[in-house]
Amino acid sequence: MVRLGQIFFAWIMMLIALPMAAVAAPYAALVMDARTGEVLHSENADTRLHPASLTKMMTLYIAFEAVEKGEISLDTNIRVSKNAASEPPSKLGLQAGQRIKLRHCIRAAAIKSANDCATAIGEAISGSEAKFARRMNRTALALGMTRTTFKNAHGLTESGHMSTARDMSILGRHVLYDYPEYYNLFSRRTADAGIREVANTNRRLLAAYKGADGIKTGYTRAAGFNLVSSAQRGNERIIATVFGGRSTATRNARIAELLDLGFRKAPSRARINKPDTPDYGTETGPLIADNGGSNDGKAGKTIRLITAVKTSLRPQMRPMAEPEPVLVAMKDDIKEALQQ
């Protein structure tokens, strides 16, 4: 009995010591020719998973849209709510009641993946995070992201807040082509966020992979290490998305493999077929459903549809990594992971 107890205790201690990254989150991937939208590779691409901070691509997309439509300006001093200031890291360190220019919050959300700034952006545009989430869902449907449901502006784990590798690739392509004047933001290694300078959570891949210029990282325990990346070489541009990486290093290595695959498969020349801009409908045109049953935009009539996904494809779980290499990778990546 003593021997059995010792074995049981050792087993428990091994589980405690084993990094969370060693227990792989569900994996999904998609590779797309950004010029045409053609899918070159997919694996579990339609499985609904936790997007983590990839969510902020939608928050930023709507921010760009709101600026272009004149709803708000980049120089608007937005007021930080107690709700926004209390968001957990990664964050810029906003204080309740302070004011900060929208442009600085956009930079911090895009580059540092600041949760407080993402919430502040949503509240400034829609009045509350709940209303902003409804706008996020309405926009997602208009973009063709049919298996995505947003519950918040930052991507921290919340019940029902789900997306897919395909939908996030679609969103990344829209960010690239719908707002090219803002896209350079995602390739900046650092940026002035008003309060302080912030470093890009994707800086390792940007430095290591030729042609990489974006787009967004994400990490939570439930999601694993996620990334939507884009790279351009000559006339070719590839978007590669990974959900469920084990660490920053292994995720980046996989993204590099997928980008390489994309460049091998994509034709050297292809006519750019830009995605259609969102059609939110008009009183006499198509009706766009809002997952929250409310339309926060100025155009279009909204109807309530039942859009909840009743079933989701089950991903194939990968084998558990050996503890030793995972521990080595985590030593390099744990600091960065906590900032994503």
Residues marked as catalytic: 53, 56, 113
DSSP codes, 32-84: EETTT--EEEEESTTS-B--GGGGHHHHHHHHHHHHHTTSS-TT-EEEPPHHH
Could you count the other beta carbons within 10 Å of the beta carbon of residue 313?
Answer: 13
Instruction: State how far Cα 246 lies from the chain centre.
Output: 17
**CA atoms of 274 and 202, how far apart (whole Å):** 25
Contacts of 269 (CB under 8 A, 6+ apart): 235
Residue 15: burial class (beta carbons within 10 Å; 0-12, 13-18, 19+):
exposed
Contacts of 4 (CB under 8 A, 6+ apart): none
E strand or H helix that includes residue 171: helix 165-178
Q: Which residues pair with 219 in a beta bridge?
A: 225
Q: Which residues pair with 31 in a beta bridge?
A: 41, 240
Determine contact, residues 58/142, Cβ cutoff 8 Å. Answer: no
**CA atoms of 116 and 9, how far apart (whole Å):** 41
Backbone Cα Rg of the chain: 20
Contacts of 220 (CB under 8 A, 6+ apart): 50, 52, 155, 156, 157
Determine contact, residues 144/170, Cβ cutoff 8 Å. Answer: yes
Place of tokens 């803002």: 182
